[in-house]
Amino acid sequence: MKKGVLCILMACMAALADAQYIPAFRTDTMEMKDPGKGYWDEGNTFKHLEVSVSLGTTGIGIDVATPICDFIQVRLGYDYMLPFKRKFEMPLAGGGQAARQYDEKGNRKVTPFTEIAEYMYKQSGYEMEDHIQLDGKLTMNNLKLLFDVYPLAYNKHFHVTAGIYWGPQQFAVAEKGSGADVMLSYMASYNKLYDEAAADDPIKKYGRLDLYPGDYGRDFVVKGVMHKKGDPFLLQPAEDGTVRITAKSWSVKPYLGVGYTGRLIKSRDDWKVSAALGVLIWGGTPLQQTQDGTDLEDVCNIKGTMGHSIALVEALKLYPVLSVRFAKTLF
């Protein structure tokens, strides 16, 4: 699939190169206009160098650019995504039931988690929360190799861009926040007490404590156990206490877009500003997994802001790219 997409990109660039050089003629004499001097002089291959910074949906970028013929510019750079954070809540479940439940009138119901919380309060003197906090952030950092093709002769404003972004497969992660460690230690302590308790111990009627992201979206077999669609999806932290949801795409992502370049300073040709709109072909629906390897495409009814964010990522079959670039020609 990746090879096919790259072949299509190369074919498109070849077609643009063959068809692009459309000379502009005067209507009265049919003489070709003077292309002028500067960055796009004839025979200027690799004779000019441009540096730029950009800001957009792929992060803050830097790149260097040089013309490789009279109508194509090559750019090499790097985009770094600022680690914007967003907080999520992952609910808990006690005895296989959601910790937080309400009746028809909106009143909080007593659940097995209520009993567990009271039990642990008597043991430790601390109150248990019915959720843990996750911190989500974007981690999309990529090298980029782009070709700006200017298909209109003597018009070096409009351009079509094709190329690739290359970086780690993971582009976002949500993992336990600093405040989650206390709750996770309570979970581990209670579950140890539960597992070691005698069969007739009152604690056995409460059940175990689990994380409760959502419900199974289809019939599912986990470690030989059959789970029906609609059953709660119960999750335990990893052995090292890790709780994490990762989102992944292709590491090599083809890019296609269009842009427009103009002067940043009216009286100077060496300062430019560009706006671009395009898409990264990142492999269809991104893979979102919990720390135990469960694909969240198989989980439904994920609540709150975490559910909204997961649904948004699932809907992005292509990653939209919108950027503004400021460039200076060095020579």
Q: Return the pLDDT at 124.
A: 82
Chain center to CA of 18: 36
What's the confidence (pLDDT) of residue 289?
95
Diameter of the chain measured on Cα atoms:
103
* pLDDT computed for residue 240 by the predictor: 85
Buried/exposed code over 114-130 (b: 16+ C-beta within 10 A; e: otherwise): bbbbebbeeeeeeebbb
The low-confidence residues of the chain, meaning pLDDT below 50, are 2, 5-36
What's the rounded Cα separation, in Å, for the pair 130 and 94?
9
Number of CB atoms found within 10 A of residue 230's CB: 12
pTM of structure: 0.81
Relative to beta strand 232-235, strand 225-227 is unpaired
Q: Which of 130, 166, 170 is nearest to 291 (CA)?
A: 170
| 282 SS3 class | coil
DSSP3 helix / strand / coil % (the chain, rounded to 5): 20, 40, 40
pLDDT digits (tens, 9 = 90+) for 167-199: 999 999 999 887 788 889 889 999 999 999 999
pLDDT in tens, 267-317: 888 899 999 999 999 999 999 999 999 999 999 999 888 999 999 999 999
Angle, CA of 163, 165 and 167, to the nearest 5°:
160
Please report the pLDDT score of residue 123 as a whole number: 84
Predicted local distance difference test score (pLDDT) of residue 29: 37
Residue 43 pLDDT: 66
